[in-house]
Structures are given as C-alpha cells and as structure tokens.
Amino acid sequence: MEVGLIGLILFGSLLVFLFLGVPVGFTMGGISIILGFIFWDGLPSVDGFVLGSFSKITESVLTALPLYIFMAAVLMYSDLADDLYEVVYRWFGGIRGGLAAGTTLIAAIFAAMVGITSVATATLGMVARPSMLKRDYDDKLTIGVIMAGGTLGILIPPSIVMIVFAAESGVSAGALFMAGIMPGLLAALLFIAYCMILCFIKPEKGPSIDIGERFTWSEKFKSLKSIVIPLLVILVVLGSIYMGIATPTEAGAVGSVGSIIAAAVRRKITVENIRKVFMMTVRLNGMIFWILIGAVAYARIVSVTGVGQHFASIITEANVNRWLILIMMLVLFLIAGMFIDTVAALLITAPLFIPALTAMSFDLTWFGVIFVICCCIGSLTPPFGMSIFVLRGVAKDLSIKKIYSAVWPFVFLLFATLILVMIFPDIALWLPNLE
C-alpha cells in the first residue's frame, strides 16, 4: 500500500478515536498494534512494540519524571504558597496591581520547584484569588494571572514536558533546562509589566491596599524568612545541574529530599498528606507512562511504514522557506494542544516533526523551548486547556465562560514570548552555550 495512504489511515483513525474520547495512550497503542499486524510482519510485530516500549520507559532520563512529580506533590501539600503569598502581600500590597504582579512572582518560584502547571494553578487559585478579590481586584485579572503564572511550571525548569521532549529528541535534558530559564523569566516579566501597566491606567482593576493594612519595613523583612527554603530547593536543583555536579535525575532526587525537609520544617508530614502525595505521584506517573507506552508503539509504526521519512522528504524537497514550515508545524501543534493534553500532543507530533527539523538544520534544544512555550499556550486555550479545568476545580464559583474570557491577554503575551525567542534564539541558547 502507498505510504501516503498508510499515513492518512494512521492519522485519520487517531483523530477519530481521540474525538470519541478514547484515552490518548490507548488510542496510539491500539491503532499502532492493529496497523503493525497488517503492515509489519503480523503477530511478531507485537513483540517489537512490547520490547520497544520497555526499552523506552526504562531510559535513564525518564527516571527523573517520578522524582519531580513527587517533589511537586510534597511542595503542594506543604502549604508553602501561604507563606510565599504573605511575603508578596507585605511587600507589594501597597502598589497598584502589586498583588497581581506578586502572584506572578510566586508562580515563577513554584515553577522553579515543581515542573508541572497544575500545582501552581491549583494552589494559587485557593490562596491568592480569595485574598485579591477581598481587596477589590478585578476577577478576570486575578484569573488570568493565576492561570498564566501556573503555565510557567513547564517552562521554567525543572520541567516534566522538557524531560519527555529530551527523551523523544535525544537532546540533553540539562541543556533544555538551562535553555528554559531566560524565556521563562521573560514571560514572567511580560506578565508583571502587563499587570502593572493595566492597573496604572485603570486603578479599579488592582487597587493598592489601604494604608492601615500596610506593613512596616521590619514586618516586611521578617516575612522574607519564608522564602529561604523554596530558594534553597531551587538553588540545589538547578545549581547542581548547571555546575555539572548532578544530572537532572540526580538533581530530582536531591530536590525530593529537599522538599521533604521543607514539609517537615512546616510540620506537614501527616498521614493524610503522605497519602495525598503518593496518590498524586502515582496517578500522574501512571497517566504519563501509559501515554509514553502508546507513543512508542505509534512512533515505531510511523518509522517502519516509512510515514515519518515520507513526511520529512515532502517537507525537505518542497521549495518552501524552512521558517514557514516551522511556523506551520507550530500552528498544527497549537491546534492539537487546544484539544488534548500537551504531553500527548508532543508525543503525537514528535515522530513527524523531529526528523524534518533535523533535516532542516534547526537546533533541537532551541526548538524544545519553542515547543514548551506552545505547550504553555495550549494549556490556556479553550476548549480543553488543562489549566482551565484545574482552576475550575478549585474555584467552583467560576463559570468556564468567564475563565475563557480572562486568559486571552496572557495568551497574547505568551505569543509575544514565542516570537521573541524565535527572532532572538540566544534568549534560549545563551545559558546552555556557557557550559
């Protein structure tokens, strides 16, 4: 059968089953096994899928996933956000839009500790939103800041999505981590600037707290002790990777120990919290690894049928500017990210995109950061952005429609970050190139 027709069957059936609501991992795995039986040596092809999946999920880079998820779970249930928000409230509450800007700062700190979007979004939805609403902040601004700040969890390292991309592309996870720092800080600065400018123009969007509620300099400095432990966790994890002392996996293990110490200091190691931590860790790991297992089968069938090479050859032989092709890839990925989980979207597109990008001589570390920024956008955009449903889960009074309307300014700011990193690659590559 012609390769193009096989590709059409492969991707057409994938879309059909995804829209029918079949879980992504089972969809990719099931379709691949059926097509493998037909187009790749019958029953022995199942052995190839099983051995390939086992080889993939036992790769050393993926052993970091459970460690960072565990670290995120411990930090989530240690209530660090309460203390961090108290610091922001004391230092920034007297400035117009200060609490919104400070919430972005907390989100950036959480991002540098946890590696996933849901932790910061859920935690700040419970801690920051009620406090900001109590002080007459515009609810749409509050919603947007919390959700946009939460997306930084996969851009500012450590990042679960970056680890998955590293496993798929063969680039260094450590280099990807370093490449994500500057774009992540750039996005955070754009969010903060937007909040401050908006509240300067329209003070009713984010008024300063009353003079009677403001704190003395002594009280402000006293609150800083709350950020010592989070900063130590960040320095240990990222510092050890950057200085070459530890691999990302080893740094994840050290960070997990650091998060346990942070929870112990706050006396949050209770039987109930231990249960919640392990439940969150097991559930997220199970979801990601099932997707990975299905993705291995999918990538194998794309390879053995020649669909991947066919797609790459079409692109490389076309007389089209490589940047236009790159933009088309990103548009396809952004559309996929609007409907399915970003990790799943990455794993579906990677077997096609990565060979073509390599053939066009794009730097895969730089592209990995571009990919992750698109993941941030995908987690915010309707109809099925993950952050939308995480916030809705902790803020039952919100309507989905209101959340949809609140995210767009921050989606545009993430697009601005994406464009800047594409135009100026050194924003991402400066730190990795220093090694």
- Poorest-confidence range of 101-115, 185-199, 224-238, 310-324? 310-324
Integer angstrom CA distances of residue 181 from 30, 75, 287, 369, 386: 37, 20, 27, 10, 22
For the full predicted model, state whether its pTM sits above 0.75.
yes
Q: Which two tokens stand for residue 61?
A: 């880079």
Rounded to the nearest integer, the mean pLDDT of the chain is: 81
For residue 194, the model assigns a pLDDT of: 93
Mind listing the pLDDT tens digit for each residue in 132-174?
Answer: 887 788 888 888 988 888 888 888 888 888 888 888 888 888 8
For residue 310, the model assigns a pLDDT of: 67
Confidence of residue 189 (pLDDT cuts 50, 70, 90): very high
CA quadruple 413, 414, 416, 422: dihedral, nearest 10: 170
Mind listing the pLDDT tens digit for each residue in 364-378?
Answer: 999 999 989 998 888
**What distance in Å separates the CA atoms of residue 421 and residue 212, rounded to the nearest whole number?**
44
For residue 131, the model assigns a pLDDT of: 77
Confidence of residue 237 (pLDDT cuts 50, 70, 90): confident
Cis peptide bond upstream of 183, omega within 30 = no
pLDDT at residue 275 is higher than 80: yes
Cis peptide bond upstream of 158, omega within 30 = yes
For residue 356, the model assigns a pLDDT of: 82
**What distance in Å separates the CA atoms of residue 383 and residue 388, rounded to the nearest whole number?**
9
For residue 268, the model assigns a pLDDT of: 83
pLDDT at residue 1 is higher than 60: no
User: How many CA within 13 A on the CB side of residue 201?
Assistant: 5
For residue 305, what is the DSSP state? Answer: T
Q: Which two tokens stand for residue 390?
A: 């995480």
For residue 220, the model assigns a pLDDT of: 80
Of all residues in the chain, the percent with pLDDT exceeding 70 is: 91
For residue 435, the model assigns a pLDDT of: 59
For residue 393, the model assigns a pLDDT of: 75
pLDDT at residue 329 is higher than 80: yes
**What distance in Å separates the CA atoms of residue 366 and residue 165, rounded to the nearest whole number?**
12
pLDDT at residue 318 is higher than 70: no
Tokens 């991309």 found at = 165
Out of 94-108, 124-138, 343-357, 420-434, the most confident range is 420-434
Confidence of residue 411 (pLDDT cuts 50, 70, 90): very high
Confidence of residue 41 (pLDDT cuts 50, 70, 90): low
For the segment 400-424, the average pLDDT, to the nearest whole number, is 91
**What distance in Å separates the CA atoms of residue 426 and residue 421, rounded to the nearest whole number?**
8
pLDDT at residue 236 is higher than 60: yes
Q: Cα Rg for the chain, rounded, in angstroms?
A: 22
Tokens 């902040």 found at = 137
Mind listing the pLDDT tens digit for each residue in 44-56?
Answer: 667 777 777 777 7
Confidence of residue 188 (pLDDT cuts 50, 70, 90): very high
